[in-house]
Chain A
Amino acid sequence: MNSQLTPVQLDRISEKNNRYKKWSFWVQILLLAVLLAAPMMSSFRFMDAAAKIMIFTVVVASYDLILGYTGLLSFAHAMFFGIGAYSIALLSYHSASTHWYHLLLAVVIALAISVLLAMVLAFFSLRTKAIFFAMLSLALADFFHILGITWSDLTLGEDGITFSLPGILNIEWQGVEILGVHFGPRRITYYLILVISISLFLFLLRFVRSPLGRVLKSIRDNEERSIALGFRSFHYQIYSIVFGSAISSLGGILYGLWLRFVDPASVLGVFGMVDYLLMVIIGGLGTLYGSIIGVAFFISTQSWLPDILQTFADLFPDVAIMNRMADRWMAFLGLLFIVAILLFPKGVVGTVRDYLDKRKQ
């Protein structure tokens, strides 16, 4: 009987049987509870960090699909993110009053543009060496960054766009009381982002465990052998890039929903890619759950590191260079990035998995 089942099906059956015995399952439940409870805290900073963690988890997980599961280094992921963010911002800003169908339209437009661009990019760059993909995507991403700055009739240039959202997401909406808890537009947006980002993350998990995801992994590990087995690696790599990029643009829409403000430096900037890379590396390449850890680490560092450095710099008020170093806290992240690649190439989740595997033996 078992012989008729494919390895994928066998894997799924064992997964189903062992689900409640695994500690990682309960960690997930705990995480979900924390995310559900986050807006109930009085501190806005905490809710903001939680929302950003969810949004960037989607983006970084989709990046991990391209980098960790397919082995292609793309510098255009921030560009796709920016396309999503700008599609909702431009539609809301340039229409007289925002309606719900604008959100839907933004999703459709963002998906269409990102799928098309990803296909063109992949088609041009994957024909020769994989290294071309990195270079071409960097050039294209920089082009979009400059476009965002210079096309100021449409994008308002470097000042960025502030826009308002329709209906119950609008800042002016009064909110409702449910069971004594006040639900304003912020909290509603938060829960909307929660639902969408979790479903996108689950979708990605499902994707990498599907037969298609397994083929991608085999191409990453040994391209010649997968080709010999009859898989067209070119096609599969294009699927992965298109899929990952489309999810990234959806992440951009979520970002737009949350901040109601976009500018070229924050959503299209090429150095934003180094942040994503850092998040993926810290969490561990090829481990989707790692992206949660990487993003949580990065976002919390981003929120608290400037404060820590400033208190440190205040101890030496006379030394000018200390103050300047405190201002440039991103330099420390850059240093961390280099050290992480050199010393912990497998990231947190990868290292923990290795350790657990060793203990089992």
Chain B
Amino acid sequence: MSTEEILTQPANPAGVNLKKVAIVCCAVGIWFLPLVWINPVAYAVLTIAGLAFGMMLFMVASGMTIIFGLMDILNMAHGALFAFGAYVGGYWMLNLLEQLGWVEWGTEAQSIGSFLIAIAAGGLAGALLGFLVERIIIRNVYGDHLKQIMITMGVLYLMTEVIKIVWGANPEVVLVPMAFQGSIDVYDVIINKFRIVAIIVGLLIFGGIQLVLLKTKLGLIVRAGVENREAIQVTGYNINRVFTGVFTAGSALAGIGGTMWCVFQQQVFPEIGLENIIFAMIVVIIGGLGSVTGSFLGALIVGLSFNYVAFLLPKLALGVNILIMAIILLIRPWGLLGKE
């Protein structure tokens, strides 16, 4: 084919990218593949559980991926913020409100209100701790990946011990607000109410992040900062203030994720941070470092596959995530939507 021919040929005759269509078809095919072994009703239940699980993973991973994309910091302390949010919001705040009789026995409005207050408390706790961590510790190690990972791992370790000092080392039961207890039955498919709440909150957060990133000036600065940090400074913005703001916002997301998570699991324990940081990391790697949409996809993949495999072969549940990560890294070493 000569150059002229290529130029005259329409690049995309039907107006669709065939490669993209093929990839989407494959993905949907794999999504429905477990139907071969699982009956449809169980499959529907597992899918909703997986979506809820994925949304909660996304809450943790989104903050981590934005912080990495903008600030070039791999923040292991994200797990500490997650655990702190879980303890403050899900455990301490809900127990406090329970003394007022709001959570498990109050009216519908009271229980929903208590849940919202708990989420706010968790987010606030995460934001506050994140602000301090960024200002006191991470500020000193900008630009040195090795030190950043080590020191934030140290923060995670220290916070796990501090949580044990304050709240004790044993797992504690977390109350579920009355309005979200129990489940609803749709054509024999039994759906836990809280899972629907988790999916809605996750979608809201995803939408909110996209809105902020795409429609506001702050989002413009952040997106530009991901592309080129020096250029932002040259145009006169105080990048350090943006860093602190983004770090605090990411920390608040981790705190909210922690609160949601412990209500979902109905228990909370000190090592919850370490356990989730590993899930979040797998999600971030699969999605591509720095990409919010990528980590959304990654979270759904991990959440769904974890649930299907945990149902079919319980012992392989965590292994399958690592396997998926390995396969994706083999094909695209920079993640699904990451940059080369």
Contacts and interface: CB of A to CB of B under 8 A. Distances in A.
A341 B161 contact: no
Contacts of B23: none
Interface stretch (B88-96, B146-154, B199-207, B254-262): B146-154
Contacts of A338: 137, 151, 154-155, 158
Given A277-B153, A342-B137, A271 B274 contact: yes
A345 interface: yes
A168 B158 CA distance: 43
B330 interface: yes
A334 B161 contact: yes
Contact of A139 (B140, B160, B322): B322
Contacts of A337: 154, 157-158
Contacts of A345: 147
B186 interface: no
A321 B165 CA distance: 7
Interface in B303-340: 315, 318-319, 321-322, 325-326, 329-330, 333-334
Given A71-B146, A124-B330, A324-B165, A135 B74 contact: yes
B145 interface: yes
Interface in A170-186: none
A134 to B, nearest CB: 5
A165 B141 CA distance: 48
Interface centre among A139, A146, A151, A277 (most CB of B within 10 A): A139
A328 B164 contact: yes
B319 A150 contact: no
B213 to A, nearest CB: 23
A130 B326 contact: no
A198 B150 CA distance: 29
Contacts of B157: 271, 274, 330, 334, 337
Interface stretch (B115-123, B214-222, B278-286, B292-300): B278-286
A216 interface: no
B4 to A, nearest CB: 39
B322 A140 contact: yes
Interface residues of B, number: 40
Contacts of A273: 153
Contacts of B334: 128
A330 B270 CA distance: 14
In this complex, the interface size class of chain A, counting residues with CB under 8 Å from chain B, is: 35 or more
Contacts of A125: 329
Given A143-B319, A146-B318, A151-B315, A73 B146 contact: yes
Contacts of B27: none
B162 interface: yes
Contacts of B162: 331
Contact of B158 (A128, A132, A321, A335): A335
Interface centre among B161, B282, B326 (most CB of A within 10 A): B161
Contact of A342 (B140, B146, B315): B140
Contacts of A135: 74, 281, 284-285
Nearest to A75: B153
B285 A331 contact: no
A194 to B, nearest CB: 31
Nearest to A141: B278
B274 A73 contact: no
Contacts of B282: 139
A134 B158 contact: no
A127 B329 CA distance: 9
Interface centre among A130, A134, A327 (most CB of B within 10 A): A134
Contact of B274 (A127, A130, A134, A270): A270
B134 to A, nearest CB: 14
B154 A334 contact: yes
A71 B147 CA distance: 11
A325 interface: yes
Nearest to B340: A128
Interface string A30-65: 000000000000000000000000000000000000
Contacts of A127: 329, 333
Nearest to A280: B150
Contacts of B329: 124-125, 127-128, 132, 136
B155 A128 contact: no
Contacts of A270: 274
Contacts of A321: 165
A139 B158 contact: no
Given A128-B329, A139-B321, 7 more contacts: A127-B333, A128-B333, A130-B145, A271-B160, A273-B153, A335-B158, A338-B155
Interface of B: 74, 137, 140-141, 145-147, 149-151, 153-155, 157-158, 160-162, 164-165, 168, 274-275, 278, 281-282, 284-285, 289, 315, 318-319, 321-322, 325-326, 329-330, 333-334
